[in-house]
């Protein structure tokens, strides 16, 4: 049956990088018989400009009706003065909660070809392969009460609430344990159980849930120590599981280990396996429109989409292999360039991946 993909280019470099993903999907359809149809809709600042709403109802409805959603990026300085409820980021958060995308998978893999691009010594990062499993629909991102209120004294107070229920913790831990069973069978759960009751409960539930996975070696770190360990000795990690806010921060940190945040894809899945796929980087307004953004994280997000939501692991493997081959050939966007490599723009990089994929098919 034809699989439906909703494409949401978003803001900043979003449309440029998503255009490369569209080329790749078209290539998979015409050359490899992938049975898909795509539709495009607005989200984020682009949707606010057109409809006064960062997540128009039609976009959410189209996302719900699709087998998978591919998102570029949202946000930019233009929309920062808006009330928080109208900001582009609300569009993204609305998609996450509206689709129930509680499980965010953020692999941090270092391509050997890019060991020199990392700011860390290459022996510290060579061979790095971490999967960060971030809870995505709870925590301080969605907790109530929240807001900015004025006290009787006239002083204002800002307030957010960190909250997790046992079932929310259990289901994300199960995702992490299941993934770890396919990999190194080690899971590090990250919390701040020494200070925050919410995460004291998190740790308790993680331990209890692990009882169903006797082969998994479960460890625990406080988030401050986890951040330190990620830059000190990142290869100690296999799978990390954590809440929404800690996962947001740690995944940026892990991304930099790999040389560029422009390399890392992500998948956000709901209980039905429906997913939204996006590069983990933002909309990079500083380089938007210049044709220099790295499209690889988006192309690798397409690979994750094929693997996790479209049941096409072979096509996913083709993309992964093509990206690796293009790096072997020395092509680099400016963010991952190093001496001796050839710097190319967004669209040349996308073309090269498509060509490498076609060439591998013989
Ligand atoms: C991310 C981003 C988002 C988040 C923003 C854009 C709302 O930083 O996906 O990591 O905080 O989750
Ligand atoms: Mg983030």
Q: Which ligand is nearest to the CA of 84?
A: 1
Alpha carbons 90 and 104: distance in angstroms, whole number = 17
Helix (H) or strand (E) holding 123: helix 122-125
141 is catalytic: yes
Q: Cite the beta strand spans of the chain per DSSP E.
A: 3-10, 36-40, 68-73, 103-109, 129-135, 147-150, 156-159, 186-191, 217-222, 239-242, 265-269, 275-279, 331-332, 342-343
Asked if the domains at 1-102+270-362 and 110-263 fall in one CATH topology, the answer is: yes
First-to-last C-alpha distance (Å) of the chain: 27
pLDDT tens across 116-173, in order?
778 888 889 988 999 999 999 999 999 999 999 999 999 999 999 999 999 999 999 9
What Rg, from alpha-carbon coordinates, does the chain have? 20
- pLDDT score, position 99: 97
User: Between these two residues, 153 and 262, which has the higher pLDDT value?
Assistant: 153
- Print the SS3 string covering 10-72: ECCCHHHHHHHHHHHHHHHHHHHCCCEEEEECCCCHHHHHHHCCCCCHHHHHHHHHCCEEEEE
Mean pLDDT for the stretch of residues 6-21: 98
Atom 6 in ligand 1: which residue has the minimum CA distance? 89
> Could you give the C-alpha distances from 4 to 99, 136, 309, in angstroms and in order?
15, 23, 10
Q: Are 302 and 356 within 8 A, CB to CB?
A: no
Mean pLDDT for the stretch of residues 27-32: 92
Ligand 2 mean position to 293 CA, how many Å?
A: 18
Alpha carbons 38 and 66: distance in angstroms, whole number = 9
Residue 37 pLDDT more than 90?
A: yes
Q: List pocket residues of ligand 1, CB cut-off 6 Å.
A: 75, 89, 92-93, 248, 280
Return the CATH class of domain 1-102+270-362: alpha beta
Q: Which ligand is nearest to the CA of 137?
A: 1
Residue 362 pLDDT more than 80?
A: no
Atom 11 in ligand 1: which residue has the minimum CA distance? 248
192 is catalytic: yes
User: In this structure, what are the phi and psi dihedrals at residue 13, rounded to the nearest 5 degrees?
Assistant: -75, -5
Alpha carbons 159 and 3: distance in angstroms, whole number = 42
Q: b/e for 149-164, b at 16 or more Cβ within 10 A? A: eeeeeeeeeeeeebeb
286 is catalytic: no
pLDDT tens across 90-110, in order?
999 999 999 999 999 999 999
- pLDDT score, position 133: 98
Q: Which residues lie at CB < 5 A from ion ligand 2?
A: 248
Atom 8 in ligand 1: which residue has the minimum CA distance? 248
Q: Which atom number of ligand 1 is nearest to the Cα of residue 248?
A: 10
Coil/strand/helix, residue 265: strand
Q: Which ligand is nearest to the CA of 43?
A: 1
Coil/strand/helix, residue 361: coil
Alpha carbons 24 and 230: distance in angstroms, whole number = 33
Q: Sorting pLDDT into bands at 50, 70 and 90, what band is 259?
A: confident
- pLDDT score, position 122: 87
Tell me the domain boundaries of the chain: 1-102+270-362, 110-263
Coil/strand/helix, residue 158: strand
- Which is catalytic among the residues 11, 238, 248, 335? 248
The CATH number of the structural domain formed by 110-263 is 3.40.718.10
Ligand 2 mean position to 267 CA, how many Å?
A: 13
Q: Which atom number of ligand 1 is nearest to the Cα of residue 136?
A: 12
- pLDDT score, position 232: 95
In this structure, the number of other CB atoms found within 10 A of the CB of residue 245 comes to: 18
Mean pLDDT for the stretch of residues 201-214: 98
Ligand 2 mean position to 280 CA, how many Å?
A: 7
Count of CA atoms in the C-beta half-sphere (13 A) of 299: 34
């Amino acid at each position: 049956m034809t699989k439906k993909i909703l494409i949401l280019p978003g803001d900043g470099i979003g449309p440029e990088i998503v255009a490369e993903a569209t080329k790749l999907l078209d290539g998979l359809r015409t050359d490899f018989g992938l049975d898909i149809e795509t539709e495009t809709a607005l989200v984020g600042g682009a949707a606010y400009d057109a409809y006064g709403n960062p997540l128009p109802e039609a976009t959410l409805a189209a996302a719900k009706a699709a087998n998978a959603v591919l998102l570029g990026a949202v946000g930019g300085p233009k929309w920062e003065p808006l009330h928080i409820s109208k900001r582009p980021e609300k569009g993204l958060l609305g998609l996450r909660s509206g689709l129930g995308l509680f499980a965010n998978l953020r692999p941090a893999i270092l391509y050997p070809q890019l060991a020199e691009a990392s700011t860390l010594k290459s022996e510290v990062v060579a061979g790095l392969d971490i999967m960060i499993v971030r809870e995505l629909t709870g925590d301080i991102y969605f907790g109530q009460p929240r807001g900015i209120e004025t006290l009787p004294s006239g002083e204002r107070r800002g307030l957010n609430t960190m909250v997790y229920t046992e079932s929310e913790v259990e289901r994300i831990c199960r995702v992490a344990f299941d993934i770890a069973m396919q990999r190194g069978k080690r899971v590090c759960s990250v919390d701040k159980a020494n200070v925050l009751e919410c995460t004291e409960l998190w740790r308790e539930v993680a331990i209890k849930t692990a009882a169903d996975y006797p082969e998994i070696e479960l460890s625990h770190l406080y988030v401050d120590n986890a951040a330190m360990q990620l830059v000190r000795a990142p290869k100690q990690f296999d799978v990390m599981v954590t809440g929404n806010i800690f996962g947001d921060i740690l995944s940026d940190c892990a991304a930099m280990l790999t040389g560029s945040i422009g390399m890392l894809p992500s998948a956000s899945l709901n209980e039905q396996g429906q997913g939204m796929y996006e590069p983990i980087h933002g909309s990079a307004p500083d380089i938007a429109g210049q044709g220099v953004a790295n499209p690889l994280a988006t192309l690798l997000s397409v690979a994750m989409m094929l693997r996790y939501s479209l049941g096409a692991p072979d096509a996913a493997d083709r993309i992964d292999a093509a990206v690796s081959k293009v790096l072997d050939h020395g092509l680099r966007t400016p963010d991952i360039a190093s001496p001796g490599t050839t710097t190319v723009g967004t669209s040349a990089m996308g073309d090269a991946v498509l060509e490498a994929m076609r060439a591998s098919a013989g």
